[in-house]
Amino acid sequence: MSALASPSAPASPADAIPSADDLVARVKSYHPKADEAKLRRAYDFTRDAHEGQTRQSGAPYYSHTVEVALLLADLRLDVATICTGLLHDTVEDTEATLNDLEREFGPDVAQLVDGVTKLGQMNLRSKRTKQAENLQKLVVAITKDVRVLLVKLCDRLHNMRTLHFVAKQEKRERIARETLEIYAPLARRIGVNRVCVELEDLAFFNLNPAAHQSITKRLTELRTLRSKEVAEVSASLSEELLAAGLDARVFGREKRPYSIWRKLEKKGVGFEDIADIYAFRVLVEDPTDCYRALGVIHQRWRCVPERFRDYISVPKPNNYRSLHTTIIGPSNLRVELQIRTEDMERIAEDGVAAHWRYKAGSYAFDPGAAAAAGGDPVERLRPLMEILNQGGDPDEFLEHAKLEMFANEVYAFTPKGDLIALPGGATPLDFAFAVHTELGHTAIGAKINGRERPLRTPLANGDVVQIVKGGERQPPAGWEDLVITGRARAAIRKLIRSSETDEFVRIGKVIAEHAFLREGKVFRETILEDALKRLDVDSPEELYLALGRGQVTSGELVEAVFPGMKEMRGQRPQDRDRIDDDHGQLYVHGRGLTPGVSLHFGSCCSPIPGDRIVGVVESGKGVIVHAIDCEVLAAHEDDATDSWIDLKWTPETQNTVSVGRVTATVRNEPGVLAEMAGIVGEAGGNISDVKTLERTHDFFTMSFDVEVFDARHMSNIVAALKTSDRVVSVERTREVGEELG
Ligand code: MN
């Protein structure tokens, strides 16, 4: 197995730096014809170029580049890639230029170093939300040459191995998280499992040392406890296979702390369920032997049928091939087995790197060998790139880019491919506000992966979200419920406040204009100066706002601007007496109505002159006047007929003003309220109060109290309102609706 540094046993800064001889020997072990002189030149180049620079550990900087080269040699890569490992930081961190490298080491090495340098520069922008965006660029870059990624992965691996030397915890965590979210998944994607699991464990160790420690401790305990059984099972397996004429290597394998941790996070799984399993790997000569070994083992011990997998017949997308089975093995122990050839093992561990070999005299990546092993793994990256660019299958992205440790995150993309990281459960509206506050404000709809979806739809990983914009800012009341991010919520609240204020100011201005019009005056803001003081407001806007909100009536405004005018001019719509409980008797007469009896207008139906009316005698209350179609009357149907009184409006009512109520549902568009107020004013009505009943994304339902002469006047106003194409429905209200503050 691979020689992995344990996170708990960090390398000492005093460790000797491997020499050029060490490196050459390592490369020659798998690549005897390697260009030794070139390797030595690159070794000297990195040592000299980084001279005087040190790592945070205190070690000379070039110790890092040499270690990266050795890691690449462990993957048995070509000389150009090893040289790139040695030189990968020279352009970024030293005086050396790409031209220097091209002259010294050829265009191949220069291009590879360029690719690695560019990836490194992206990492400088290390904001969390930028990371997966980097991933996208990374993938695009490496699909040109997978060696760039292999160098970058080994670079990251060595940096992770020495991460404990980084003083700032914040920086350590950032690097660890980036490793877990970007580099480890990419390593897995191209099958370089050995690097992937070490990256994961090192990241896990840095992000959650306590959990890492406790898992490691329990693993150690388990190992001690069951060492005897492991040896016995291993021996029994070997014996059985040997007896069948199979030459097999059998060894126990341990689960990685991070892989246990991920599984522990799933509900209903305990440590024992995962870790207390006897796991073995059986390596044989060729694929046929895999099936023979399987047959031998299944014949000898009972298998657990649902646990059997044939990844030789159907390899995993990253070319992983193996047989998996679980048996009730020796001593009734549950034993997990992976049966594969040495070649499959190599691919399982090194992935794409397993396909470097001699062909036509040169040692290089062999696409043919890769294809024979189940397809070019580099090709496997292309779908990921496409997912990142265009959306595609979200599950695919989920599998590779989402990590359970940070599962509460959603990565969605703009149509241009920019990545937006959001908390789980976020909606397109959150997305819009995350892109830009203005985009959130103007959003009226969303297309997710090309299809129109409601703005409340929770986003999934990999969704491509296109925000449909409206022409103007939408008053987004009610949208607060559609978002979960603080940023979106704060922006919406702010806009609700300002847009409602805007609306009321507009209404108030229209009310003021019409109030002046009725007085036969031309409205000018300058005329308000004295009135502002009397009404205790600071500015015309504040006055309009108060008018629009009904805090100041138009009558009060006129009185404030023209003191004493009410007395002088007599009756004007807003000044004339309103029909109310105290004066009802003046306007209504009828047979059987006792003079002097207390008369009230039902608040249930608010009858106004012109309505057909009826009175109901209620003991202790007097007579209540209802509109003939009032629903409350139904409750009195069984009453004695003499409690009903036929009533008529008196002719005097022609000179009075009544207050009726209109409920209108209008499109939630800027300016719509001012338009309503204008229509009412032009029809001779006078809005005395406005209440918001309901406000949704699309519609706005409100009630107006309107001063009118009679029911016919009211009908005219309702009809006038209906002429507006922004009015969805409008009707005279009989009952007072539930008012929202
Ligand atoms: Mn480096």
- What per-residue confidence (pLDDT) applies to 422? 77
- What per-residue confidence (pLDDT) applies to 256? 85
CA distance 161 to 155: 10
**Same-domain check for residues 550 and 581:** no
Output the DSSP codes for 25-55: HHHHTT-TT--HHHHHHHHHHHHHHTTT-B-
**Same-domain check for residues 686 and 601:** yes
- Strand order through the sheet with 465-469: 451-453, 443-448, 465-469
* CA 203–ligand 1 middle distance (angstroms): 17
* CA 126–ligand 1 middle distance (angstroms): 16
Query: Tokens 């106004």 label which residue?
Result: 608
* CA 174–ligand 1 middle distance (angstroms): 16
pTM (predicted TM-score): 0.52
**Residue 8, domain member (yes or no):** no
**Same-domain check for residues 417 and 514:** no
Closest CA to 509 of 546, 538, 537, 475: 546
**Same-domain check for residues 157 and 291:** no
In the numeric block, which tokens belong to residue 20? Answer: 């050029």
* CA 120–ligand 1 middle distance (angstroms): 8
CA distance 433 to 441: 8
**Same-domain check for residues 188 and 227:** no
**Same-domain check for residues 158 and 122:** yes
**Residue 363, domain member (yes or no):** no
* CA 59–ligand 1 middle distance (angstroms): 14
* CA 130–ligand 1 middle distance (angstroms): 20
* CA 70–ligand 1 middle distance (angstroms): 13
Distances (CA, A) of 521 to 202, 278, 570: 81, 96, 16
**Residue 5, domain member (yes or no):** no
- The gap between the terminal CA atoms of the chain, to the nearest Å, is 70
* CA 252–ligand 1 middle distance (angstroms): 35
* CA 88–ligand 1 middle distance (angstroms): 6
- What per-residue confidence (pLDDT) applies to 232? 87
**Same-domain check for residues 506 and 577:** no
What CATH number corresponds to the domain at position 109? 1.10.3210.10
What CATH number corresponds to the domain at position 435? 3.10.20.30
How many structural domains does the chain have?
Answer: 5
Domain boundary among the residues 462, 478, 493 is at 493
* Sites in the chain below the pLDDT cut of 50: 1-11, 13-14, 123-131, 377, 382-407, 567-583, 736-741
What CATH number corresponds to the domain at position 737? 3.30.70.260
Distances (CA, A) of 382 to 315, 410, 449, 487, 610: 18, 22, 19, 34, 76
**Same-domain check for residues 232 and 312:** yes
Give the DSSP H/E element, type plus range, for residue 23. helix 20-28
Closest CA to 585 of 575, 576, 595: 595
92 included as an active-site residue: yes
Q: Say if CB 623 and CB 645 are below 8 A apart.
A: yes
Residue 431 CA from chain centroid, whole number:
6
**Same-domain check for residues 577 and 552:** no
**Same-domain check for residues 404 and 439:** yes
Domain boundary among the residues 516, 537, 561 is at 561
- What per-residue confidence (pLDDT) applies to 145? 76
DSSP-assigned letter for residue 455: T
* CA 62–ligand 1 middle distance (angstroms): 9
What range defines the domain where residue 513 resides? 495-561
The 10s digit of each residue's pLDDT in 214-228 is: 888 888 888 888 888
CA distance 494 to 490: 6
* CA 259–ligand 1 middle distance (angstroms): 27
Q: Which entry of 36, 92, 102, 513 is annotated as an active-site residue? A: 92
DSSP-assigned letter for residue 17: P
Domain boundary among the residues 448, 475, 493 is at 493
CA distance 522 to 266: 74
Please list, in sequence order, all residues whose beta carbon lies within 8 angstroms of the beta carbon of residue 733, skipping any fewer than 6 positions away. 606, 660, 661, 662, 663, 703
**Same-domain check for residues 470 and 389:** yes
93 included as an active-site residue: yes
Q: Which entry of 36, 93, 232, 669 is annotated as an active-site residue? A: 93
**Residue 6, domain member (yes or no):** no
Amino acid at the residue 107: P
- What per-residue confidence (pLDDT) applies to 222? 80
**Same-domain check for residues 653 and 727:** yes
* CA 6–ligand 1 middle distance (angstroms): 20
- What per-residue confidence (pLDDT) applies to 574? 43
Q: Say if CB 387 and CB 401 are below 8 A apart.
A: no
- What per-residue confidence (pLDDT) applies to 388? 43
**Residue 13, domain member (yes or no):** no
